[in-house]
Amino acid sequence: MDRRSFLGRASGLASDVIVGPGFEYMPGRFADDRLPIRWTDQPPPREATTGPNGTPLDTTTGLEPYVPTSENPWDRRRAIHLLRRTGYGADPDAIDAVLSGAPDVAVNAIIDAALAAPLPPTPPWIDEPVPPPDAPQSELDAFIQANTQWIYDTEGEVHNETLSLLEAGTAFRERLALFWHNHFVTGIDSYFLAAWLYRYWTLSRTHALGNFKQFVHEIGITPAMLVYLNGIQNQVGDPNENYGRELLELFTMGIEYPEGTPNYTQDDIEELARVLTGWTVDLYGTLEAVFIPEWHDEGIKTVFGQTGNWGYDDVVPLLFGQRSEPIAHFVADKLYREFVYAIPDSDVVGELADLLLANDFELEPAVRTLLKSAHFFDDQTIGAQIKSPLDTTLGLVRETGFTITPDVSDLIRIGTRVLTQQLFQPPNVAGWPGYHSWLDTNTLPVRWLYADIYLPKQQTLQALALSMPNPFQVELLAADLAEFFLAVPFDEETIITFTEILLNGIPPYEWNPNDPGAEGRLFGLVSYILELPEYQLN
């Protein structure tokens, strides 16, 4: 099987060459017209970036620490909730490990492990030079084919890191990297080069729990972003507003503060674009970002009422010096939507924003506090999200036993693409909208089909049953499996239905998870559970 055939849109890049006049990527140096890099394209159009309509969770809890009580115990349901929101799915060993200590200990362990998790080995092709414009077509074709495979390999490496059993915090770091990918959006269709993709993803991994101000500074001059949002076209006398506009609207502060006060003006965007002039990429050399002094606007600019001969190093001081509160609120809102619920609680977001301000925009204290909070572990929070395609595909692999074969790896890639979450290729600069957009009459049957195709490849359901707290008591096992796969509570009548499906006609006293016939019965129950509407909740 040629796995490159599963690259979807990415595999088509090699034939989707943008033909036109050579792009001057440095003074007097022109890019090869045959390279499938969208040098002068604008990013895909997008709709207004308002969040989903609805009401916040019906809860009075906030960022105060979660303290288990008889009404809100530290139990398997909350342990699974923590693992689902900080990774993709939960496995029995991880659940037991989380439950072996107090909830704050579990959260600290996950975050500390994410901070300490080493980056994967740098691929050998990271500095592989692009063939020069005078290279023969055969050399260029060979490079494009190899580059396409490197993109494919990087996607698989991200999946493997996410499902790693070796480092407890790796899955959380990868989930955070994906979160930031959907915040500081780029699309591989625009910049094409695997080396730029790897630099961009490494930046998201490195700053996943780091300082947001430093993250903002570095993301603007990473090659993937410079190409995607036209930073390389932003020159003195001909400024391009794309990156400056999205930096304000989507990456830092949003259009307006909650009470409706505008955070910036069109003049701010135009002046900021002038501040950002002069950056390009060294396409045929280091593959890094390069500053060209003669392409930078040395004139006086006024941004947020501050006047000076500003350059790139002044961007973060200008933004955070003049708009720190809107930025803190904007980032807190995004963190809340990721880890708690799509409709933010204004009081909790306000508390979270205060934490960001108090810690000079260090992300780790805010995330740690949120995940330890009574609000995060509130009954109303558990099962309040809708699973993303990656939650569905990677989560099912994790839940059913980590049997990662080449066929299963391909199935993950295919599943996430068909379900509209192709890694490295968000739909536009606003990213995947998530929540209700993940489910419709087209994608829900595909989720069922994915499970139907995937489950027979996993011969581990008896091992899963034996890892449950009560594998030999059929009614309790049915309840345990329901709790394991479903984020929402279920009633006694539902458990009776689950038990009947699991028994499949045999009397309860004949149930034995070690019996060869148990495998088919377990597949029957698990298949049934995976098609319930509740299984789509996280």
Claim to verify: residue 263 and residue 134 sit in the same structural domain: yes
How many domains would you assign to the chain?
Answer: 2
Residue 458: band (very low, low, confident or very high) from pLDDT cuts 50, 70, 90:
confident
- Nearest C-alpha neighbor of 379 from the set 330, 340, 432, 329: 340
Judge if 284 and 420 occupy the same domain.
Answer: no
What is the C-alpha separation between 428 and 57, in angstroms, rounded? 29
* 66 CB-near residues (< 8 Å, 6+ apart): 72, 103, 104, 372, 373, 374, 376, 377
**For a pLDDT cut of 90, what percent of the chain falls above it?**
81
Residues 523 and 403 in one domain: yes
| pLDDT of res. 48 | 55
Please give the pLDDT value at position 167: 52
304 and 412 belong to one structural domain: no
User: Do residues 298 and 393 both lie within one domain?
Assistant: no
327 assigned to some structural domain:
no
pLDDT of 4 strictly over 60: no
pLDDT of the residue at 18: 39
Position 480 in a domain: yes
Same domain, 404 and 513: yes
Which of 322, 346, 378 lies at the terminal end of a domain, its last residue? Answer: 322
Give CA–CA dist 389/447, Å, rounded: 8
Neighbouring residues of 508: CB distance < 8 A, sequence distance ≥ 6: 474, 475, 499
pLDDT at position 468, please? Answer: 97
Sign of CA dihedral 307, 309, 315, 317: negative
Q: Is residue 427 part of a domain?
A: yes
Whether 306 and 160 map to the same domain: the answer is yes
Structural domain includes residue 114: no
pLDDT at res. 52: 75
Residue after which a domain boundary falls, among 299, 322, 345 = 322
Tokens for 25?
Answer: 């990527």
- pLDDT band with cut points at 50, 70 and 90 for residue 164: low
Confidence of residue 431 (pLDDT cuts 50, 70, 90): very high
Residue 404 pLDDT: 72
Q: Indicate if the pLDDT at residue 254 is higher than 70.
A: yes
Regarding pTM above 0.85, the answer is: yes
Q: Using pLDDT thresholds of 50, 70 and 90, give the confidence band for residue 308.
A: very high
Mean pLDDT of all residues belonging to the chain? 91
What is the mean predicted confidence (pLDDT) over 235-245?
97
* Mean pLDDT within 277-303: 97
CA-based nearest residue to 97, from 82, 85, 115: 82
Predicted pLDDT at 156: 85
Helix axes 492-503, 474-485, angle to 10 degrees: 110
Q: Are residues 297 and 439 in the same domain?
A: no
Task: Give CA–CA dist 394/397, Å, rounded.
Answer: 5
| pLDDT beyond 90 at 9 | no
**Quick one: 318 and 393 in the same domain?**
no
Last residue of a domain, which of 304, 322, 340? 322
Write the pLDDT tens digit of every residue in 494-520: 999 999 999 999 999 999 999 999 999
> Tell me: the pLDDT tens digits for 130-162?
999 999 999 999 999 999 999 999 998 888 777
| Predicted pLDDT of residue 217 | 98
User: Is 227 domain-assigned?
Assistant: yes
What pLDDT was estimated at residue 455? 87
Structural domain includes residue 217: yes
Amino acid identity at 12: G
Reported as a single tens digit per residue, the pLDDT across 89-107 is 999 999 999 999 999 999 9
pLDDT interval class at 326 (50, 70, 90): very high
Alpha carbons within 13 angstroms on the beta-carbon side of residue 32 total 18
Average pLDDT over residues 163-180: 79
Who's near 515: CB < 8 A, 6+ residues apart?
none
- Look at residue 355 and tell me if it is in a domain: no
State which residues form the domain around 452.
389-536
What's residue 168's pLDDT? 53
- Considering only residues 48 and 381, tell me which one the structure prediction assigns the higher pLDDT: 381
Tokens of 356: 């960001």
**CB of 313 closer than 8 Å to CB of 322:** no
What stretches of 293-343 show up as alpha helix (H) in DSSP? 315-322, 324-339
Structure tokens at 509: 């006293």
Query: How high is the pLDDT of residue 402?
Result: 67
Q: Answer yes or no: do 399 and 480 share one domain.
A: yes
Tens digit of each residue's pLDDT (9 = 90 or more) over 219-228 = 999 999 999 9
Instruction: Give the three-class secondary structure for 14.
Output: helix
Report d(CA 42, CA 49) in Å as an integer.
Answer: 18
Q: How confident is the model at residue 201, as a pLDDT?
A: 96
pLDDT of 520 reads 94
Do 315 and 400 lie in one domain? The reply is no
Structural tokens at position 129: 């030079």
For residue 288, being part of any structural domain is answered with yes
At position 17, the amino acid (one-letter code) is V
pLDDT mean over 323-332:
98
User: Over the stretch 12-40, which tens digit does the pLDDT of each residue have?
Assistant: 333 343 334 579 999 999 999 899 998 87
Interhelix angle 518-530/474-485, rounded to 10 degrees, is 40
407-427 residue pLDDT tens: 888 888 888 999 999 999 999
pLDDT computed for residue 70 by the predictor: 95
pLDDT at 47: 65
What six digits make up the tokens of 101?
């200590």
In the predicted structure, residue 441 carries a pLDDT above the cut 90: yes
- Same domain, yes or no: 402 and 490: yes
